[in-house]
Structure formats: structure tokens, C-alpha cells
């Protein structure tokens, strides 16, 4: 590990000033950053500790009916808040399907959004990785690609974004509140993460010194509470990142879909929302044929990045299953295995 400077910020302005220095990184729980530092993947020259910034752990209902989630709110506190889980059940289900209980007790909302890819070639300093060292190449291409991208990838990078939390947030039009040298700005989460293109080292739209201070859910997000699910396919039923995942939310009126939301995880370097699929569902009856058409639209541009063509059909089927589960209604209680396709059907989830 290289030597680094440690700075403990006492207010947002001070954190932004300290974080603007070349080589600086913000430290909250550190559940991802510290692992990367120990492995020699991340090498910041300055750590700016933001854990004691006042007010950043608060979860506040806004006057317009939206919700502001402070950057330092803990994943477990958020997921186990009854009012939050009732209003945004798919988000709670996604939070509880990620990591372990111990990590959820430490990890923060903003840290979840900022977590780095789990691509094995990125986390191995001995492998070529354009994300870690621009211009070095991508050893994942032609390597072990089972868990890699099927949407939005480029010849420079085929990694995926690992977050569960971000997938339903993107579906629900969440925004990212950012403080920086130029003041406060709000960016849609859907456009916060960048696709790799030719510059995979640029992972987000954050500029030097900018700090996430909150995530914001608009008032309309709670309208999907009655028909909202998050499902995740993983190699084991706990403590594993998604092979693929899907967040589906429906607003039903008169037995038809007035509005639909659909986002996929584990398929690209960002949570992948399909507005084409959502448009196809508007005005339709919530039935299998419509859901299959929507899933086809969501995966229309998919192509394997190696030995992972199976993920295209798997994603298609999971999208149908998530939409079907959402149409059946949000369970009154989360399943024993939240987010798992092995969990009981919604009508049995109360048992």
C-alpha cells in the first residue's frame, strides 16, 4: 500500500475542498474502497473521511411528497424502515438481497452508488485493464466472461456495475444530489454512471472534488408501491452479486397498465433502464404476452461479450418474471429470501 494522507472533514464545503486535490478519494464505510486499496487496485494519495459530516445520514420526506436519502444513510437502516419499505418495496428488496447483514450495517447509500465493478480482471493488478490503467488493454475480452456485459459494452471494457440498490432506483427516476466547487446540482441516476466507450476509466459524471450528498426519489415513485418487485439471479442465494437482476414496477388503472418501469442489473456498466419496454406496456393488460414483448424490447440491443450469450435469454426471462410478480402485487411482507427467484410467490409471502 502506498502512503496516503488522511483528512477528516467537518463540513461539506471542507470535504469538497479537500476532495478536489489530485489523487483524493472520499471515505465513508470503506466496504469497497479499502478492499481495493489493500489489493493495490485503488491507490489514492489522500483519503477524505466524510463519516462525521452533519445531516448526511438523514432520510427526509420532502414537502412535495418525494424522499431525500442522505448519502451516509446505512443500507440496513433504510431497508428496515417500515415507512420506506412500504413506499418503495422494490428498493428495500434490492437492499436486503445485497451483500451480508454485516456489510449492510456498515455500507452507505452513496457508497452503494459509487461501488466499483467486481470484474476479476479489474481487481487483479496483474491483468491488463483499461479501467484501472487506461490504454493497457482488456484481458477480460477473450477471457472468463460469464458474468460480463451484454449491453452497452465496448472493445475497451466489458465489465458490469454490481449494485442491486441502483437498479430499482433507476426505474423509479431517482436523482443524485451532488455538492461541488460550483455548488449543488441534481443529476438523474440513469445518466450518472457512464458506459465505457473509449474512456472506461471515467465511471461517473462526477467532476474532481464533487461529493454525493443525497439520493432523491420523486413524488411519483411511491405510486408504484402496490405493484413493485426486484428479482435477482445469482450463483448462490445469499452474499453474491447478480448474474442478472430486474426491477419492475407497474401502476394499474381499471385492470390495465397505466405506467410501467423496467430496469435490469448485471448486464451493463450501469443499471439498464428500458424505456422502449415501458412504452410497449402502457395501456396493455398485465398479461404474459405483453410482458414477453417488453422483455424482447429491453434486450433488443443485447450481444454477448464472450461466452455469455446465455445471459441474454436469462435476462429476458427474468424481466418477464419480475413484471409478472409486480402485476401480482407487492407482498405485505418481504420474502424470506428477498430478491431471490427462489422466494415464495407473492401470495405465499405472508406465511
Domain boundaries, the chain: 5-49, 226-336
Helix (H) or strand (E) holding 26: strand 24-27
CATH for the 5-49 domain, from 2.40.40, 3.30.310, 1.10.700, 3.30.43: 3.30.43
Residue 5 and residue 89 in contact, taking contact as beta carbons nearer than 8 Å = no
Give the pLDDT confidence score for residue 348 in this predicted structure.
37
Residue 261 and residue 249 in contact, taking contact as beta carbons nearer than 8 Å = yes
- Mean per-residue pLDDT over the chain, rounded: 95
Q: 198: pLDDT confidence band, cut at 50, 70 and 90?
A: very high
Residues in contact with 153: Cβ distance below 8 Å, sequence separation at least 6, in sequence order = 159, 195, 196, 268, 269, 305
Q: 6: pLDDT confidence band, cut at 50, 70 and 90?
A: very high
The percent of residues above 70 in pLDDT, for the chain, comes to 97
pLDDT digits (tens, 9 = 90+) for 141-197: 999 999 999 999 999 999 999 999 999 999 999 999 999 999 999 999 999 999 999
Q: How far apart are CA 343 and CA 300, in angstroms?
A: 28
Cell of 220: 411519483
Give the pLDDT confidence score for residue 344 in this predicted structure.
66
Q: How far apart are CA 292 and CA 80, in angstroms?
A: 33
Give the pLDDT confidence score for residue 191 in this predicted structure.
98
Superfamily (CATH) of domain 226-336: CO dehydrogenase flavoprotein, C-terminal domain (3.30.390.50)
Q: How far apart are CA 174 and CA 166, in angstroms?
A: 9
Amino acid at each position: 500500500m502506498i502512503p496516503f494522507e488522511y483528512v477528516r472533514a467537518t463540513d461539506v464545503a471542507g470535504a469538497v475542498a479537500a476532495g478536489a486535490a489530485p489523487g483524493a478519494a472520499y471515505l465513508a464505510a470503506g466496504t469497497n474502497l479499502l478492499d481495493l486499496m489493500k489489493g493495490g487496485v485503488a491507490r489514492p494519495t489522500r483519503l477524505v473521511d466524510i463519516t462525521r459530516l452533519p445531516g448526511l445520514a438523514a432520510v427526509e420526506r420532502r414537502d412535495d411528497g418525494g424522499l431525500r436519502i442522505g448519502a451516509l444513510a446505512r443500507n440496513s437502516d433504510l431497508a428496515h424502515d417500515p415507512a420506506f419499505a412500504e413506499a418503495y418495496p422494490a428498493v428495500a428488496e434490492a437492499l436486503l438481497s445485497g451483500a451480508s447483514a454485516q456489510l449492510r450495517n456498515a455500507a452507505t447509500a452513496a457508497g452503494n452508488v459509487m461501488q466499483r465493478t467486481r470484474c476479476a480482471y479489474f481487481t487483479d493488478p496483474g491483468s491488463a485493464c483499461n479501467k484501472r490503467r487506461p490504454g493497457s488493454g482488456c484481458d477480460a475480452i477473450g477471457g472468463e466472461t460469464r458474468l460480463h456485459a451484454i449491453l452497452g459494452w465496448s472493445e475497451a471494457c466489458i465489465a458490469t456495475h454490481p449494485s442491486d440498490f441502483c437498479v430499482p432506483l433507476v426505474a423509479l427516476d431517482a436523482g443524485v444530489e451532488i455538492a461541488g466547487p460550483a455548488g449543488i446540482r441534481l443529476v438523474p441516476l440513469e445518466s450518472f454512471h457512464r458506459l465505457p466507450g473509449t474512456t472506461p476509466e471515467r465511471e461517473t459524471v462526477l467532476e474532481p472534488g464533487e461529493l454525493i450528498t443525497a439520493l432523491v426519489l420523486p413524488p411519483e415513485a411511491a405510486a408504484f408501491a402496490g405493484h413493485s418487485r426486484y428479482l435477482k439471479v445469482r450463483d448462490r442465494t445469499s452474499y453474491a452479486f447478480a448474474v442478472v437482476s430486474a426491477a419492475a414496477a407497474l401502476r394499474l388503472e381499471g385492470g390495465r397498465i397505466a405506467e410501467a418501469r423496467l430496469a435490469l442489473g448485471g448486464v451493463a456498466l450501469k443499471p439498464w433502464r428500458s424505456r422502449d419496454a415501458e412504452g410497449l406496456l402502457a395501456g396493455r393488460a398485465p398479461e404474459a404476452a405483453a410482458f414477453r414483448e417488453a422483455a424482447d424490447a429491453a434486450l433488443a440491443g443485447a450481444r454477448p461479450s464472450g461466452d455469455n450469450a446465455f445471459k441474454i435469454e436469462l435476462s429476458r426471462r427474468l424481466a418477464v418474471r419480475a413484471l409478472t410478480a409486480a402485476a401480482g402485487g407487492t407482498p405485505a411482507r418481504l420474502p424470506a429470501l428477498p430478491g431471490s427467484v427462489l422466494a415464495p410467490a407473492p401470495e405465499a409471502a405472508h406465511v
